[in-house]
């Protein structure tokens, strides 16, 4: 896993280390970890950091880079390392396939952290790397947005979904949050009396609103309404756990839509070699056991043979993608 580029002396140890910084940006948070690629796998993470939402399509490039910088500085501080120069840097970003966005981040990383090597990868790729053998199989993300990505052992790929909240994001946190708000607004509009543990009660209590006007104003005046709406998914999950039928129905419909994403992607992999490795990621999907169970049940109904694995830390996938074996195939490193 070693490379000549990026080897330096640790501030606290004279042994050579190969520093690598991985960053995963999402619709609600940004996570970073500083890694010594020469250390044993179970002891390679030197420090971690967290920042706010870092999806440039939701918060803009300036705010995204602020969130990334905050997470990087925390990770370096935790590792007692100077973050003024980071030899190798990988950014996992939704929309990385956009050449203009990708180049913006490459230029920013070279300038801000004097990185010798910078890689920009799609947010779905680390999920695939962490949750499947040899990065072949299907990765499904259901966080603020949703996307499925498949890759065969011989390198063929297929992407389904990931069109953004205006055209897609089916089964995502945004989609579920929007359905929950619509349900609450209908009940408020009809002046329906709702139960203490109901979905509507959870929403009006969380947002501290009493009228339709107040609720709609909270949404439309928010600086990042997409992330704001998606942030309500824990209320749906909790209400479903308390037996709220509408919350259960919203989650079950989301599971159906996510299963359809996987099924469309599975056309790429015929399953002749056995069950398809399926990596499941994204904060919304990871948080809801009901969503996971319903998703897998629908996949069985769709006759998709799978072997599923939850990926709770996408940064593990970034660390794996730093291996030279993936250079030029899955990861394109930009050097100065």
Q: What is the mean pLDDT of the chain?
A: 85
In a domain, 37, yes or no: yes
Give the separation between CA 267 and CA 321, rounded to whole angstroms: 25
Least confident range of 8-12, 31-35, 80-84, 150-154: 8-12
Do both 279 and 139 map to the same domain?
yes
149 and 270, same domain (yes or no): yes
What pLDDT band is residue 13 in, cutting at 50, 70 and 90?
very low
Q: Do 142 and 242 fall within a single domain?
A: yes
pLDDT band at 6 (very low <50, low <70, confident <90, very high): very low
* pLDDT at 307 > cutoff 80: yes
- Ranges 144-158, 187-201, 237-251, most confident: 237-251
Residue 310 within a domain = no
Shared-domain flag, residues 289 and 323: no
What single DSSP character describes residue 324?
G
pLDDT for 28 beyond 90: no
What is the mean predicted confidence (pLDDT) over 84-91?
85
pLDDT for the residue numbered 272: 56
CATH code of 144's domain? 3.30.420.40
The residue ranking higher by pLDDT, 276 or 85, is 276
What average pLDDT does range 130-141 have in this prediction? 91
Is 126 part of any domain? no
Shared-domain flag, residues 117 and 148:
no
**Average confidence (pLDDT) over 276-290:** 92
Region 227-255: what's the mean pLDDT? Answer: 94
What percentage of the chain exceeds 70 in pLDDT?
92
- Among the listed residues 149, 164, 163, the one whose alpha carbon sits nearest the alpha carbon of residue 264: 149
Among residues 185, 184, 282, the alpha carbon closest in space to that of 235 is found at: 184
50 domain-assigned: yes
Residues 6+ apart with CB under 8 A from 66: 51, 52
Q: Does one domain contain both 110 and 50?
A: yes
What pLDDT is recorded for position 273? 67
With pLDDT > 90 as the criterion, what percentage of the chain qualifies?
Answer: 44
Give the per-residue pLDDT at 271. Answer: 56
Domain that holds residue 181: 131-304
Q: Which pTM does this prediction carry?
A: 0.84
Q: CA-CA distance, 252 to 258, in Å (whole number)?
A: 10
Q: Is the pLDDT of residue 184 over 90?
A: yes
The answer as to whether 97 is a domain residue is yes
Whether 81 and 150 map to the same domain: the answer is: no
Q: Are residues 38 and 173 in the same domain?
A: no
- Specify whether 165 is located in the same domain as 93: no
Q: Could you tell me if 69 and 209 lie in one domain?
A: no
- In this structure, the dihedral spanned by the alpha carbons of residues 60, 23, 138 and 41, taken in order and rounded to 10 degrees, is 180
State the DSSP H helix or E strand holding residue 9, giving kind and residue range, or none if neither: strand 7-9
Report the candidate in 296, 290, 256, 294 with the shortest Cα–Cα distance to residue 276.
Answer: 296
Residue 228 and residue 173 in one domain:
yes
Between 193 and 162, name the one with better pLDDT. Answer: 162
Phi-psi sector, 16: left (phi>0), alpha (psi -120 to 50), beta: beta
| Lowest-pLDDT range of 63-77, 165-179, 317-331 | 317-331
Whether 129 has a pLDDT exceeding 80, the answer reads: yes
Domain count, the chain: 2
On whether residue 2 sits in a domain, the answer given is no
Most confident of 164-168, 316-320, 323-327: 316-320
Question: Do 220 and 84 share a structural domain?
Answer: no
Q: Which residues pair with 51 in a beta bridge?
A: 30
90 inside domain: yes
Q: Is residue 166 part of a domain?
A: yes
């Amino acid at each position: 896993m070693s490379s000549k580029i990026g080897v330096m002396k640790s501030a606290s140890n004279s042994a050579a280390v190969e520093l690598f910084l991985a960053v995963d940006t999402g619709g609600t948070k940004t996570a970073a970890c500083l890694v010594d690629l020469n250390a044993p796998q179970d002891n390679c993470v030197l420090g971690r950091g967290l920042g706010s939402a870092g999806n440039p399509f939701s918060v803009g490039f300036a705010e995204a880079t602020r969130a990334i910088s905050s997470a990087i500085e925390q990770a370096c501080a935790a590792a007692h390392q100077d973050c003024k120069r980071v030899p190798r840097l990988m950014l996992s970003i939704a929309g990385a396939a956009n050449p203009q966005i990708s180049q913006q981040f490459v230029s920013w990383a070279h300038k801000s952290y004097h990185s010798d090597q910078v890689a920009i990868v799609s947010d779905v790729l680390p999920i695939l790397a962490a949750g499947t053998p040899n990065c072949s199989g299907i990765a499904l993300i259901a966080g603020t947005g949703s996307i499925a990505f498949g890759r065969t052992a011989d390198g063929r790929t297929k992407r389904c979904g990931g069109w953004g909240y205006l055209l897609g994001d089916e089964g995502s946190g945004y989609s579920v949050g929007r359905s929950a708000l619509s349900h609450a607004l209908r009940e408020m509009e009809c002046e329906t009396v709702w139960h203490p543990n109901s979905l509507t009660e959870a929403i009006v209590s969380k947002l501290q609103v009493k009228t339709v006007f107040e609720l709609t104003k909270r949404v439309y005046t928010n600086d990042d309404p997409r992330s704001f709406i998606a942030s309500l998914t824990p209320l749906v999950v909790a209400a479903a756990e308390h037996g709220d039928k509408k919350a259960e129905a919203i989650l079950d419909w989301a599971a159906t839509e996510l299963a359809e994403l996987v099924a469309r992607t599975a056309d790429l992999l015929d399953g002749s070699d056995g069950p398809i490795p399926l990596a499941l990621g994204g904060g919304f999907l990871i948080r809801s056991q009901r969503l996971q169970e319903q998703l897998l049940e629908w996949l069985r109904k769709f006759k998709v043979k799978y072997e599923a694995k939850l990926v709770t830390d996408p940064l593990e996938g970034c660390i794996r993608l730093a291996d030279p074996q993936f250079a030029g195939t899955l990861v394109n490193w930009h050097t100065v």
